[in-house]
A and B are shown apart, each in its own frame.
Chain A
Amino acid sequence: MDIVEELLKGNRLALSRAITAIENEYDEAVDIMKRLYAHTGHAFVLGITGPPGAGKSTLTDKLAKAYRAQGKTVGIIAIDPTSPFTGGAILGDRIRMNSLTMDEGVFIRSMGTRGSLGGLSHKTADAIKAMDAFGKDIIFVETVGVGQSEVDIVKAADTTMVVLIPGMGDDIQAIKAGILEIGDVFTINKADHDGADKLVRELNMMLDLDAHGMQMEQTDTEKALADQFHHLNVAKHAVGNTWRPPIQKVIASQNEGITETVENIEKHFKYISETGILQKRRTERSKNEMLDVLHSNIGKYITGKLDETGKLDEYVEQIKRRETDPYTVVADVMHDMLKE
């Protein structure tokens, strides 16, 4: 079958195969993406992140149902960590969304991080595009916070929701320092558990301080995390973003607070649409996409050439013996190759 043609006709197996091609980096993936690209740019992308055990999948399930009730079609990309030791993964998010499986308006795809950090965000972005071209109105990207790869994934989203739960102990301090920067909408799940109100209070305080550009006392971990998220922070504020992230208490398992959460998400989307932030984000994203492809292709091209000619091993040996250094080698290589 012609995957692109079938996908655009609404064939779910074609969509599934397209994502596999993207994930496995099959050669045909490039061709698929080329042909799908013109059909993308319509879907609203919601990133959902938060620590393990925060109930993100259950929340995603309920939100998906709420959007389905509005008549919107939904795509879900659920990302779970791959074991660094075996390369295997248990992709366990789907089990909490079983009741969506038979809804033809929903398509769920589980993905493993598969170790390659940079590659994942690129693959996720392409998988989102495949679902977008397929015609999904809203695409959820669910991922465990708060590593760098997750932040990169979140960059593909129009709106990012951060899910937290009470009673996480000291870890939450560290997480908060980072997530504060990326959340457009905050959700406190399992709000019937002890400590929910306290968490809301603390979060409110931190968000207010953040809005006033004040710096709080930070531990080393918090500083490290804040640094890590700095680029996002800058991007957010650079465009005159005056959005104050709302916080909503939710009990996802009992469907409580879902309507309000959907409202928050929509308010944010409206805000970024009206203020032009959405357009700026999407422009930034197009630029990043192009640069990503550029870097990756040039890198691959040059590496391939070096490998072919056996020069790669030669250079490595020379660097190891300290006869030269990586900077000199790369400068030489680029000089030679880009002249061609």
Chain B
Amino acid sequence: MSNEKIQAGLEKYNASVEKAISRFPERPHLPEQRLYTPLDIKDTDYADEIGFPGMYPYTRGVQPTMYRGRFWTMRMYAGFSTAAESNKRYRYLIESGATGLSCAFDLPTQIGYDSDDAISEGEVGKVGVAIDSLADMEVLFDKIDLGKVSTSMTINAPASVLLAMYIAVAEKQGVPADQLKGTIQNDILKEYAARGTYIFPPRPSMRLITNIFEYCSKNVPKWNTISISGYHIREAGSTASQEIAFTIADGIAYCEAAIKAGLHIDDFAGRLSFFWNAHNNVLEEVAKFRASRRVWAKVMKERFHAEKPKSMMLRVHTQTAGSMLTAQQPNNNIVRVALQTAAAVMGGTQSLHTNSRDEALALPTEESVMIALRTQQIVAYESGLADVIDPLAGSYYVEALTNKIEKEAWEYINKIDEIGGAVAAIEKGYIQKEIQDSAYKWQMDVESGAKTIVGVNKFQVEEEPPKGLLKVDASVGVAQCERLHAMKAKRDNDAVKAALADLKAACQDENENLMPHILKAVHTYATLGEICGVMREVFGEYEAHVNL
């Protein structure tokens, strides 16, 4: 059918719609366009813009066979209380068929404080496991073969220290560093913009990150050295386009920093990975995943002149949207997570964490975690969604939406370039302000009823408070502090002092890679707080830019 014929048909259809609408008005707050046709994608060149899986620009996926080879990694984010408790949960997950671990750390750990620091009071073991030193890390991975498992660690500001601890535990297990597989989040820019667990100012933080890139490219080659995260940007309230735009702008900043530090793009770009949110609007999310791959491929090829295909592939871990879970009628969350899982799978994710139904209320129970994992397994084995590659390609709507999200992302990336890059845009508060504005708009839309959230602003019921929520007892903090003090009494404190002095000197010399020095300190059982304390002394601390 020629475009003229389609156009004629469309006009006829539109006329009929006018008549229908006069009798049956449409629901308010819908996407502007009600129907998509070949006309909406007539300028999209299949070969250039869509192409084939495993081929530039990777719109249809980064691997040639995608899930026909093997499913995505089903990776459940877990960790709470003490290292021993979390170790039990990890082993339970591995026995239940999880194929990768994902460690959640408590806030003192994420911000580089020991459990006995005054500021840690009330936070120890709450949102993740407390790690004070190598001793805790040894317990955390007890009886888990680090040569076999792939481990993702959600750690940013002190990522270098936790990675060093992981390498040290592996050494003790007899696993060489070049066999280690996993990811550290290590994405400081989104901490400034959206997540809030920063420590140092941008410059030394970028140095720590490039130090890790360099160290791992030589010593831990299978390790994903960064997970550039849009997840938290979306959780903070951004739109889908903003999520990928701000994250890719962060990615550009990391590449530029690494190149400035003397690395070659193809030496580290293949180890960069991304982290997306799987939100409620299924088709928009699928389009977002597809658009993000295309934008990144173009950035790498056209801007950084990468040559290795692997450098141009946007590999992505996904988590379903925590902020979309409702505290009301929590079982409804099972359905939300299933739809979000479908979106991530049709979007072609490489690994996935599914949230548990009770996470708007507390940390998930074992039973809830099991349902969440089963959700992934049902989508993988029963739904058929994983049977063919990029099943929504060619949908007029999804292709048009992919184009639209790509266009909006480029507009933001260009704007950030004008400001002077992601670091400058964050320092000026631009990215934060854009996210806040979107978050506020979302909230007002929910309150006005323009957006419906089932069980929250429509279809509410009176309900009993849910029972059997997981609680982390305050005694966890006390016990953790006792363990820390016992460890400090046993270790060779002169060795710790010497290692910390050595680290301080290294921090002061900008040309020095800090990783070997941190590793040395970790081996002496210097604590996370002590190591970060030295770095705080030299680097100072970041002061947030807030502009409401």
Contact = CB atoms under 8 A, between A and B. Distances in A.
Interface of A: 58, 90, 92, 95-96, 253
Contacts of A92: 546-548
A56 to B, nearest CB: 13
A95 B432 CA distance: 15
B543 interface: yes
Contacts of A58: 543
A318 to B, nearest CB: 46
B546 A253 contact: no
A173 to B, nearest CB: 22
A90 B548 CA distance: 7
Given A90-B548, A92-B547, A96-B543, 6 more contacts: A58-B543, A92-B546, A92-B548, A95-B544, A95-B546, A253-B543
A58 B548 CA distance: 16
Interface of B: 543-544, 546-548
A253 B547 CA distance: 16
B120 to A, nearest CB: 18
A92 B429 CA distance: 13
B548 to A, nearest CB: 5
Sort A-B residue pairs by CB-CB distance and give the 6 closest, nearest first: A90-B548, A95-B546, A92-B548, A92-B546, A253-B543, A92-B547
B72 to A, nearest CB: 41
A162 B544 CA distance: 24
Contacts of A90: 548
Contacts of A96: 543
Nearest to B424: A193
A90 B440 CA distance: 15
Nearest to A52: B547
A93 to B, nearest CB: 11
Contacts of B547: 92
Nearest to A90: B548
A340 B256 CA distance: 80
Contacts of B543: 58, 96, 253
A58 B542 CA distance: 13
A253 B542 CA distance: 10
Contacts of A253: 543
6 contacts: A90-B548, A92-B546, A92-B547, A95-B544, A95-B546, A253-B543
A223 B168 CA distance: 70
A180 to B, nearest CB: 27
A92 B548 CA distance: 8
Nearest to B547: A92
A96 B544 CA distance: 8
Nearest to A95: B546
B436 to A, nearest CB: 11
B547 to A, nearest CB: 7
A253 B545 CA distance: 11
Contacts of B544: 95
A275 to B, nearest CB: 39
B434 to A, nearest CB: 16
A138 B546 CA distance: 27
A1 to B, nearest CB: 32
A313 to B, nearest CB: 40
B542 to A, nearest CB: 10
A202 B295 CA distance: 43
A96 B548 CA distance: 13
Residue with the greatest number of chain B CB neighbours at <10 A, chosen from A58, A90, A253: A253
Nearest to B427: A253
Nearest to A255: B540
A253 B543 CA distance: 8
A253 B544 CA distance: 11
A210 B548 CA distance: 38
Nearest to A253: B543
A58 B544 CA distance: 11
A112 to B, nearest CB: 14
A95 B544 CA distance: 9
A250 B313 CA distance: 44
A137 B242 CA distance: 48
Contacts of B548: 90, 92
Contacts of B546: 92, 95
A96 B545 CA distance: 8
A291 to B, nearest CB: 38
A141 to B, nearest CB: 22
A224 to B, nearest CB: 29
Nearest to A58: B543
A58 B427 CA distance: 13
B450 to A, nearest CB: 21
A90 B543 CA distance: 19
Nearest to B429: A53
B199 to A, nearest CB: 15
A249 B79 CA distance: 49
B419 to A, nearest CB: 11
B205 to A, nearest CB: 15
A96 B547 CA distance: 11
B69 to A, nearest CB: 50
A280 to B, nearest CB: 40
A90 B546 CA distance: 11
B536 to A, nearest CB: 14
A82 to B, nearest CB: 14
B121 to A, nearest CB: 16
A252 B18 CA distance: 61
A58 B543 CA distance: 10
